[in-house]
Structure 1
């Protein structure tokens, strides 16, 4: 396949030649194009390092097929799935069960293992867990997940095994119990305080430094948490919902705006946005966590936490670039180049000879309103209803077309592979 006269993220117009699964040449006047990309932009496929595709155990919320279709339609060509399924991905057997289900994926994937409160760092169980590649640690302190001692043990083991550790950092001891008397939509944000995140990030990076471990802080929602990670030289991610939504949106979102960490004040959201724009934040990742409408339509204390986002991440960021608020290169770095570097995916993240042909083609001027009914996640709703997004017209995974709207919407076959195979 030859894609002709495409505008790359840095503004260069180039032809891109693909053979088998790989980009083999990027240059000018390479021949007769199979796809004329004049006036279009060509991006490396986005890498979403934080999704919950819900299988096994919760297929009524999402499946690998529906989640990966949503990813492909949003220009995401690689995802990293987190371990809180049923069974949780904390053993080799559980990993194998999830990997079998992931065969249905249209996009490439990684599967994170998790550490539980009864984890033994010296057991066969532990060695199998760390063989999975990345490890997700749910909460660095407090009673929400593993305790501080177990966290330190796991990080120390990760440092010895040279694997990446993704950390959900909230200190449950700093949650505000008094807010449990409230039933308004903002009560969840008042309960899980901004201070709880900052304190947990500070503790996590301290433990990581002692263990010489490679930490990555998940879904930072506060400028304080971002700064604590950045000051320590630790990478972090921000979700689209923490980038674009705040507590000011909760009167409209209601319990559909409950997630962990929760939405923050508009002032903090603006400070987070500034840190994304100026390069302090390394990655945008979605924490795609779909639930059904019926599940979310409950009280603020009973509704499950989480929102979908894998299909709208790149379109929302491309709209920011279209409006001149981000550069296209910054969007590329946040969604592709930086995740590939941080999570050691040398074949992904850029449009260069020798890299995987994970490519996304879009018309930069073709923005339209986001509507949940048009999206492909099984949950069928979005917290970004009514906002503008620039969606792909073509998505390729290692040279295979997995999503195409040029002659009516069509999906390709499930060609996804485990990036840690």
Structure 2
């Protein structure tokens, strides 16, 4: 007898890009059977009128744990994920302490064990020569990939990014030169790992920022702010990174892409056979610079949200496969930090809980299809990072299931979010299409926008085939 039967739902297949009315049967946490045949189970869920998608995978989350738990922590963050239809998350490494070697990876995996409401993986952080010989140990310990903040100085004590770096500044690791960065690519290639980069040319940004006379600029002048962090900053870094990936054979992944120029570079590189993948984030797809007067400083993220033309290019890149998937870049801050001068406040907002609803709403508006959502939220992230038994609704895969009501309309509201600091730029936006039940390995973990039960997340096995 099966443990769970989900009957009468419309099953969304990202591989075949089709939807079929099928029953799903679960045994020991995995999908044991699919089809139209009727069978008994210890528990049966009537999914009539609902769509069943593979659990979402968010590969870009800053849960701030340890080191900044006043902003977010793993328990709150993974609760938000579960309610939003996300069943696997990858946590970024720039915490305090940071994840710099295999020992750090194992410690963090163990630390999260009793706090996770969804399955999880860990990123490692590259500091150049300082931990070049530790990159392989992170892979061996289970790190999904290695992140590198291109061109940024790093605080030696907290490992936070230093945005106002000047030469000679104390207690920081200076930005790496191209030779040091090339050494990272070469080592990544030798280790058969993934190197993911935050792609902004910080030297250009520093120069443009210095040239801007902030004394004559309003605190909320988004156009002036954007002039200091233009598309060129992304273009320069992406171009250099692609050249290094081509030369070394390293697998390059470009995080949170924002610009037409960047998309065009990735499209050409893929056509040339370079081992490169890329993502964008929901805020770049659903907001543009023109929205700032209505949305305000809550939409400050790095890299900055750009023009409608850039937004259109991102959608085109996602639809044609130039961009492989989307990830939230979930990065909350305290409410009081997101007030005041646009130039001084921190960047980032909640995203893990709203990512799937935003994409479902795009389906309701006719922009994309449900199989496409399953592809860019589940299948492709699992394939690229080698997350075992995730991303598809197939026999033998984990029974990570999201039941979606495509007729349900309600607004995103900050007060309804489950993050520790529930702040999003989408507060008040009406959404049609919502996750109404989330199952992790066959166990109900969220229903009707609330968490159900206790933490039960496990480490995800990430074995990227690069």
TM-score range, shorter chain: over 0.9
User: Partners in 2 of 1:74 and 1:416 — Cα distance?
Assistant: 15
Question: Which aligned segments of 4 or more residues in structure 1 are displaced greater than 6 angstroms?
Answer: 141-144
Shift of 1:141: 8.0
Structure 1 residues 250 and 28, CA, compared in 2 at 3 Å: closer, same or farther? same
User: Partners in 2 of 1:373 and 1:112 — Cα distance?
Assistant: 30
Unpaired runs of at least 5, structure 1 = none
Does residue 34 of structure 2 align to residue 26 of structure 1?
yes
SS at match of 1:8: strand
User: Partners in 2 of 1:97 and 1:274 — Cα distance?
Assistant: 41
Indicate conservation of the 8 Å contact 1:79/1:109, yes or no.
yes
Map 1:14-413 onto structure 2 (within 5 A): 14-32=22-40, 34-103=44-113, 104-121=115-132, 123=133, 125-131=134-140, 132-139=143-150, 145-175=175-205, 176-177=208-209, 178-179=211-212, 181=214, 182=217, 183-186=219-222, 187-233=224-270, 234-389=276-431, 390-405=433-448, 409-413=450-454
Higher strand residue share:
2
Structure 1 residues 375 and 247, CA, compared in 2 at 3 Å: closer, same or farther? same
User: Partners in 1 of 2:105 and 2:424 — Cα distance?
Assistant: 29
Q: Deviations over 1:251-272 (max 9, x none)?
A: 2333222111001012221222
SS at match of 1:366: strand
25-34 vs 136-145, which deviates more?
136-145
User: Partners in 2 of 1:127 and 1:271 — Cα distance?
Assistant: 36
Indicate conservation of the 8 Å contact 1:24/1:354, yes or no.
yes
TM value normalised by structure 2: 0.85
User: Partners in 2 of 1:146 and 1:88 — Cα distance?
Assistant: 18
Give the corresponding residue for 2:455: 414
Structure 1 residues 188 and 32, CA, compared in 2 at 3 Å: closer, same or farther? farther
Shift of 1:398: 1.3
Shift of 1:29: 2.2
Indicate conservation of the 8 Å contact 2:278/2:325, yes or no.
yes
User: Partners in 2 of 1:400 and 1:237 — Cα distance?
Assistant: 30
Structure 1 residues 35 and 130, CA, compared in 2 at 3 Å: closer, same or farther? closer
User: Partners in 2 of 1:409 and 1:338 — Cα distance?
Assistant: 27
User: Partners in 2 of 1:48 and 1:293 — Cα distance?
Assistant: 24
Q: Deviations over 1:360-413 (max 9, x none)?
A: 0011111211101001111122111121333211111111211122xx834222
Give the corresponding residue for 2:7: 4
Indicate conservation of the 8 Å contact 1:371/1:386, yes or no.
yes
Report how many residues are paired: 417
Unpaired runs of at least 5, structure 2 = 13-17, 154-164, 166-173, 271-275
